[in-house]
Chains A and B, each alone.
Chain A
């Protein structure tokens, strides 16, 4: 066989032909791949569709189930909250905007958006009292107690998980609302303010008893007195703690404990 590559004109055409074949084959492969994925996706969607249809009621009614469903969705990288942002725009066209809006009648999205609105309202209402920092559990009790009648029964059995998700759904509105963890409690921050390390430490210490005193902080954290006082005064200036002067040494209480002590006393 003649293995010598011919530098003639014919080689140009063969190479062009080869290139063409490669591209054509590539396209075929790509389309096939895409088709397979498409099929997989549609199979998955129809499965999810069936699942959601059979369990729509549970998703709406059962908070634990809803949380699991939401967790599954986020594990599969599906944000059913985000998918409904385009709901209005696409509904008019093919109606394929948000599969969740179709599957669940929009009620799961709406559920979280409604909850988000309630959270904003509650945070604003209590801001003067707690300086814009409210614990998730406190917020939950407030919402389920105060608003049960207005929105409907579905809002009355909410979990902390729902609240977290609803707060996340508020993120497109700007970074005003976020969840922060202090100690073992989750708090919702509704003022755009960063706490420094000292302030967080003190707030964390408050979680233990509900209050701190300057000497307690000095003893446990090994801080100098001026530093302790400065931090506490800062927190007070931000309405994040309330002072109680009737206990001998001034006690600094977290307003997050207003409901807690009330519940404790019965």
Chain B
């Protein structure tokens, strides 16, 4: 379910392990509203419901430091089910919500993992896998955050490994700590496109230099 890989080198897991935090995440009142778990037939209500779900998913992932969700596994987590009122979202509805989040109307706050094309109908295979990125920050925003971090810590011109960026103690307090390599690469590519960074090295041992 989580995309945070286990880290043998870190003595104490930071506050990003989902098992620890759901208790502290303050669910919005609507999470305890039974009809929230049934997609509403009325289009107006539905769009309100979808945006409520979208902000809930984003807030939850941000809180628990999740960068992606596997819907089939996530359905039984407190995010998509509320045991107090014994309601849970169906896989079909969860997919519909994520699908909505991927659209421009949903603010492109999600993307199916494994989708072949961004704009086309490549969503079928990605949707089939039921795995998606949750962009509580979009890749462009992550790129900005990375640039800002490099600027702030005076590491311009230094060669950084991807491991250093997302898994070292130095970035423990940064929001991008623990990010999937794939998403990191995606974000770095945006930095490259902006002419702010250069990525080199082979698969598994990439380095990046900001300037």
Other-chain contact of B44, A211, A239, A259, A262 (Cβ < 8 Å): A239
The B contact surface, by secondary structure, is: helix
Assess the B35–A262 pair: CB atoms within 8 A. no
Question: How many pairs, one residue from A and one from B, have CB atoms within 8 Å of each other in the complex?
Answer: 70
B87 within 8 A of A: yes
Chain A residues, Cβ within 8 Å of B31:
262
Assess the A261–B38 pair: CB atoms within 8 A. no
> Which size class do A's interface residues fall under?
20 to 34
In the complex with contacts A128-B45, A258-B30, A265-B37 CB distance below 8 A: no
Assess the B38–A262 pair: CB atoms within 8 A. no
Contact digits for A244-255, partner B, Cβ 8 Å, 1 yes 0 no: 111100010101
- B136: shortest Cβ distance to chain A, in Å? 21
Assess the B48–A247 pair: CB atoms within 8 A. no
- A128: shortest Cβ distance to chain B, in Å? 4
28 A-B residue pairs with Cβ-Cβ distance under 8 Å, sorted by A, are: A128-B44, A128-B45, A128-B47, A129-B45, A129-B48, A131-B44, A131-B45, A236-B41, A236-B42, A236-B45, A237-B42, A239-B48, A242-B38, A242-B45, A243-B35, A243-B38, A243-B40, A243-B41, A244-B34, A244-B87, A245-B38, A246-B37, A247-B34, A258-B33, A259-B29, A262-B28, A263-B29, A265-B32
Assess the A246–B87 pair: CB atoms within 8 A. yes
B205 within 8 A of A: no
Chain B residues, Cβ within 8 Å of A261:
29, 32-34, 85
**Nearest A residue (CB) for B31:** A262
Binding site for B on A (CB under 8 A): 128-129, 131, 211, 236-237, 239, 242-247, 251, 253, 255, 257-259, 261-265
In the complex with contacts A129-B45, A246-B87, A257-B38 CB distance below 8 A: no
Chain B residues, Cβ within 8 Å of A236:
40-42, 45
- B53: shortest Cβ distance to chain A, in Å? 12
- A251: shortest Cβ distance to chain B, in Å? 7
Chain B residues, Cβ within 8 Å of A253:
33-35
